[in-house]
């Protein structure tokens, strides 16, 4: 059985839980008015199907909440490459992107606090991840673009709050976060296993010397899989996480 490093660093959406519907909803409401008189389930039902379809595609290319705004561009329906997605995102006015991100974050906060059961039900743990967190309890670090309050609420819902030692929320600087926790904990970066479904994140953290694994159960596209094979990135299947065990 594999003997793993003493720190397990995990992405959240796409690794710990599937939150596609929640992300689509806050993305829609990041541009369109939030109706405080309309219950969350009705807000979700009101999201146009064609937008949800575009968002499903956009999610596969995104690393940050900022990137979700691309789903509001009709052109995103024809995305076929990461380069094409990057061009669409870079064509947007930075001020517009900042306003969207702030609004989507505010909507997420409101749903989480005003309708917690509805909001929490939009987050489904991937099979076996709860057991993984419990095996590594106390040495788990979450490094995610999602905000820390949301992560804490979802973990608490599943009785996993005490398994995670630290949360780096709303960050795209995942390599820096891993290096920071290693420096403060006095753990060599080589004794970290990092798991992320985004290939770019997996590559950046792997460059630090951490043992980086690319999760196959999250959000990705065939182009990413071809690039990973070319670069020799080690994939990790959901059926393999049961073999990951803490170091003695």
Per the structure, how many domains does the chain have? 2
* Residue 115 three-state SS: coil
- How far apart CA 112 and CA 36 sit, in angstroms, is 13
Residue 171 · residue 146 · CB < 8 Å:
no
Residue 2: inside a domain: no
Q: What is the mean pLDDT of the chain?
A: 94
Evaluate if pTM is beyond 0.85: yes
**For residue 247, what pLDDT is reported?**
58
- How far apart CA 99 and CA 102 sit, in angstroms, is 5
Query: Does residue 248 register a pLDDT over 80?
Result: no
Kind of pairing, strands 140-143 and 124-125?
unpaired
61 and 139 both lie in a single domain: no
**For residue 228, what pLDDT is reported?**
92
**For residue 163, what pLDDT is reported?**
98
Question: Span 18-41, mean pLDDT?
Answer: 94
- The encoded tokens of residue 202 equal 């997996």
- In the chain the first and final C-alpha atoms are separated, in Å, by 12
- How far apart CA 118 and CA 126 sit, in angstroms, is 19
In angstroms, the Cα distances linking 76 to 27, 51, 68, 85 are 14, 10, 11, 7
**For residue 5, what pLDDT is reported?**
54
**For residue 233, what pLDDT is reported?**
87
Out of 23-27, 34-38, 52-56, 105-109, least confident range: 34-38
Residue 195 belongs to domain with CATH number? 3.40.50.1000
Which residue, 95, 121, 147, sits at the end of a domain? 121
């Amino acid at each position: 059985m594999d003997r793993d490093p003493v720190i397990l660093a995990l992405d959240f959406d796409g690794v710990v839980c599937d939150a596609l519907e929640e992300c689509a909803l806050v993305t829609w409401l990041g541009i369109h008015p939030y109706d405080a008189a309309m219950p969350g389930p009705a807000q979700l039902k009101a999201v146009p199907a064609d937008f949800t379809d575009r968002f499903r595609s956009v999610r596969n290319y995104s690393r940050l909440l900022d990137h979700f705004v691309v789903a509001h561009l009709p052109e995103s329906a024809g995305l076929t490459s990461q380069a094409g997605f990057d061009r669409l995102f870079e064509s947007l006015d930075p001020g517009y992107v900042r306003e969207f991100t702030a609004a989507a974050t505010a909507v997420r906060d409101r749903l989480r606090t005003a309708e917690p059961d509805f909001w929490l039900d939009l987050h489904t743990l991937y099979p076996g991840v709860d057991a993984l967190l419990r095996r590594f309890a106390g040495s788990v670090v979450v490094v995610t673009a999602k905000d820390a309050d949301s992560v804490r609420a979802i973990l608490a819902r599943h009785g996993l709050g005490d398994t995670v030692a630290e949360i780096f929320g709303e960050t795209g600087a995942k390599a820096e976060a891993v290096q920071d926790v290693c420096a403060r904990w006095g753990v060599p970066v080589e004794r970290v296993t990092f798991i992320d479904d985004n290939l770019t994140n997996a590559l950046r953290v792997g460059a630090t010397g951490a043992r980086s694994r690319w999760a196959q159960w999250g959000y990705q596209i065939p182009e990413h899989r071809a690039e990973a094979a070319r670069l020799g990135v080690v994939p990790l299947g959901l059926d393999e996480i049961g073999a990951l065990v803490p170091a003695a």
